[in-house]
Chain A
Amino acid sequence: MSRIEQAFARRKAEGRKLLVSFFTAGDPNPDATVPLMHAVVRAGVDIIELGVPFSDPMAEGPVIQAACERALRHGVSLRRVLDMVREFRVHDPHTPVVLMGYANPVEVMGYTRFAEAAAEAGVDGVITVDLPPEEGAELNAALTARGIDPVLLVAPTTTPARLERISAAARGFIYYVSLKGVTGAATLDVDAVAEKLQEIRQATTLPIGVGFGIRDARSAAAVARVADAVVVGSALVRLVEQHQDDTYKMREAIVDLVAELRQAIDTVEPARA
């Protein structure tokens, strides 16, 4: 069983949902990232999603765009991100790490080289935002061959035919983008999410994480009722931005929010058995 599968299995056995945190590697500076990864795990995060900075993050709202720019000012790119995962793994052999980024840095490194380097560093999953299954076959094959899960996105606009194609290529879990929009957008319609998740569950047995638009305990709890995992991103990155000059305070603020989200998620009655 992969680390991602183990994490889902463990929580499922406990009747709990997973909390997935997203922040951009190297933001606000390269030294802050690994300590932050350890801190969120201690505060209750189950899976770490690490953003790979890109100059043209087309799917991100202003908060994560700014995070990319801060990280890029420090020259943090894919190779440095892999170094960070390797460093994290020295003290944490258990928590799954999923990279989230865009195709071009991976193209430049080369799919095979990237898959090998990521596996060696201890990466468990890879989300490539601009690689739908039609374009991702080659990278996804390189990743699965080395035991890394290609995590694919499903959106509110995804048609049944596409859902089948995505399910066939996806490993680890399905990432459901809860709204039409960019990361950090405001409105989350939980009923619409619940409806779409039912449709997705017809097509796949993989667990489903829901992200985009979850900002506080309330929205996290609402999503936890219907999803297997709750992904929180912009809300955390906003705290990085606020405390970028004081990484100690930054970690404290993020740990507080993570703990709050953890508690909110753990106290919901699941809607489905």
Chain B
Amino acid sequence: MSTANDGPTGGDFSRYPDAAGRFGAYGGQFVAETLMAPLEELAAAYARLRNDPDFIAELDYDLQYYVGRPSPLYYAERLSKSLGGARIYLKREDLNHTGAHKINNCIGQALLAKRMGKTRVIAETGAGQHGVATATVAARFGMKCVVYMGAEDVQRQSPNVFRMKLLGAEVVPVQAGTRTLKDALNEAMRDWVTNVDDTFYIIGTVAGPHPYPMLVRDFQAVIGREAKRQILAAEGRLPDALVACVGGGSNAMGLFHAFLDDRNVALYGVEAAGRGIDSGQHAVRLAAAGRPGVLHGNRTYLLEDDDGQILGTHSISAGLDYPGVGPEHAMLKDAGRANYVGITDDEALEGFETLTRLEGIIPALESSHAIAYALKLAPTMRKDQIIVVNLSGRGDKDINTIAAMKGISL
């Protein structure tokens, strides 16, 4: 049972999870027995490799020459001036190979898989960005790849489905449940339980059983480490606020992690408020409607009914359409270290259009939620203050959705 008060209190957030994989009251390993030994094996392999100079060198090399890191920290001058408040910087994860932050994690996990002698990788995907990133690294490392994707998401993210197939991956549409990301995750777990001997499950976000939330965060933490260095170089000081969208929470944790113990840096995680929180059609778990519970191997905030059944969610962006959230975010919420807010579909579309027109950058619909919150936040801050927004991905994958909303057929 969740005991809310065993989370961190002082300036020591960055030392989580503990040895049992807990972030305060959250996290853990809530899986069927069959997966416990493979999870132990994974945790042991990672503990061995995370400080291994060869492994780190291999990872760094790939991040630089294959992904294209470091990603720029770009001062969005026209956007900032139009709002008349804080200076807005964009962390350009959209410029990574494959167009989103997801590849940072996939490179890391694929290298782990290789070292562990696994020949087949599987993944769940919502927006398709994680699926594309997994299919990409699988092609590069010569591994078999199967991607599970909710049947509804297969429809609305068809460009990414085609990209995965071009890359040689098999894409399996999942018809069960709500036919979105949570069901894809269930199906990927079922595959893993069946094929544990040769298969590595590359989870795409900071959720799932321990060690995944830690592993994925560590591989994404390069975002915040770079951003810290870059903002110090550009402005000579730390930012006042960080803003990132939160699906499972990997791009947000990636940006936040290096700043967790810098208590003067405010953290904002932006969830999908869909058609509005009152409509019941949203994915706001932390900012309003969620309660602690157990799903997909960890204890965290969930959208559920009074019987503990998991609720369907709605967001215009497939990548935020998920009823759970990474356990580290649950801890940061309870401790008051991070603030979680909702942005509706309509507001996200406005963020999308504003950034596109003012800066010539087409953001992913997920990232548009972060942009939309910055549009609200910046005017409430002074001109000498600084916001860093994680531009987690580019919007090419979403043009069909946007066109359909405008009544245009491509």
A residues near B (Cβ < 8 Å) are: 53-62, 65, 69, 72, 77-79, 102-111, 129-132, 134-135, 138, 152-159, 162, 166, 177, 180-182, 185
**How far is it, in angstroms, between the C-alpha of A269 and the C-alpha of B376 when the chains are bound?**
75
Chain A residues contacting B307 (CB-CB under 8 Å) are 77-79, 105, 108
**B28, CB-defined interface residue at 8 Å:** yes
**B30, CB-defined interface residue at 8 Å:** yes
B13-57 interface bits toward A, Cβ cutoff 8 Å, 1 = contact, 0 = none? 000000010000000111111111110100000000000000000
Interface residues on B, range: 35 or more
Asked whether A104 and B294 contact (CB < 8 A) given A132-B33, A153-B33, A181-B193, the answer is yes
**B1, CB-defined interface residue at 8 Å:** yes
Number of A-B contacts (CB under 8 A): 130
Partner-binding segment picked from B142-150, B296-304, B379-387, B390-398: B296-304
**Contact, CB under 8 Å: A156 / B34:** yes
Asked whether A158 and B29 contact (CB < 8 A) given A110-B1, A182-B194, the answer is no
Chain A residues contacting B40 (CB-CB under 8 Å) are 159
**Contact, CB under 8 Å: B30 / A162:** no
**How far is it, in angstroms, between the C-alpha of A115 and the C-alpha of B245 when the chains are bound?**
39
- 14 new A-B pairs (CB below 8 Å) besides A132-B36, A162-B37? A54-B308, A56-B177, A56-B182, A56-B186, A58-B189, A65-B176, A77-B307, A77-B308, A104-B310, A106-B308, A130-B32, A135-B28, A135-B29, A155-B36
**Contact, CB under 8 Å: A109 / B308:** yes
> Would you give the shortest CB distance from A182 to chain B, in whole angstroms?
5
Within 8 Å by CB of B33, from A110, A166, A181, lies A166
**Contact, CB under 8 Å: A104 / B308:** yes
- Closest residue to A109 on the B side, CB-wise? B308
> Would you give the shortest CB distance from A164 to chain B, in whole angstroms?
13
**Contact, CB under 8 Å: A159 / B193:** no
**Contact, CB under 8 Å: A181 / B194:** yes
Chain A residues contacting B349 (CB-CB under 8 Å) are none
**Contact, CB under 8 Å: B38 / A105:** no
Most A CB contacts (10 A, CB to CB) among B182, B190, B195 go to B190
**B293, CB-defined interface residue at 8 Å:** yes
**Contact, CB under 8 Å: A177 / B310:** no
Within 8 Å by CB of A158, from B33, B195, B196, B309, lies B33
**How far is it, in angstroms, between the C-alpha of A232 and the C-alpha of B38 when the chains are bound?**
26
Asked whether A108 and B308 contact (CB < 8 A) given A56-B182, A157-B196, A180-B194, the answer is yes
**B222, CB-defined interface residue at 8 Å:** no
**Contact, CB under 8 Å: A134 / B302:** no
- What are 19 inter-chain pairs, A to B, with CB distance below 8 A? A56-B182, A56-B183, A58-B32, A58-B189, A104-B295, A107-B308, A108-B308, A109-B308, A110-B1, A130-B31, A132-B31, A132-B36, A135-B28, A153-B34, A155-B32, A157-B33, A157-B34, A157-B37, A181-B194
Chain A residues contacting B294 (CB-CB under 8 Å) are 102-104, 107, 130
Asked whether A157 and B28 contact (CB < 8 A) given A56-B177, A65-B176, A177-B33, the answer is no
**B306, CB-defined interface residue at 8 Å:** yes
**Contact, CB under 8 Å: A153 / B293:** no
Within 8 Å by CB of A55, from B35, B196, B309, lies B309
Chain B residues contacting A158 (CB-CB under 8 Å) are 33, 36-37
**How far is it, in angstroms, between the C-alpha of A62 and the C-alpha of B309 when the chains are bound?**
18
> Would you give the shortest CB distance from A81 to chain B, in whole angstroms?
10
- Closest residue to A138 on the B side, CB-wise? B1
Chain B residues contacting A55 (CB-CB under 8 Å) are 177, 309-310
**Contact, CB under 8 Å: B296 / A56:** yes
**How far is it, in angstroms, between the C-alpha of A155 and the C-alpha of B197 when the chains are bound?**
14
Chain B residues contacting A59 (CB-CB under 8 Å) are 32, 34, 190, 193
Which residues of chain B in 262-319 are interfacial with respect to chain A, using CB atoms and an 8 Å cutoff? 291-297, 302, 304, 306-310
Within 8 Å by CB of A61, from B33, B36, B190, B291, lies B190
**How far is it, in angstroms, between the C-alpha of A69 and the C-alpha of B176 when the chains are bound?**
9
Give me the 3 closest cross-chain CB pairs, A-B, nearest first: A77-B307, A105-B308, A108-B308
> Would you give the shortest CB distance from B364 to chain A, in whole angstroms?
26
- Closest residue to A72 on the B side, CB-wise? B309
**Contact, CB under 8 Å: A103 / B33:** no
Within 8 Å by CB of A132, from B29, B38, B183, B310, lies B29
**How far is it, in angstroms, between the C-alpha of A105 and the C-alpha of B293 when the chains are bound?**
9
Chain A residues contacting B302 (CB-CB under 8 Å) are 104
Chain A residues contacting B183 (CB-CB under 8 Å) are 56
**Contact, CB under 8 Å: A155 / B34:** yes
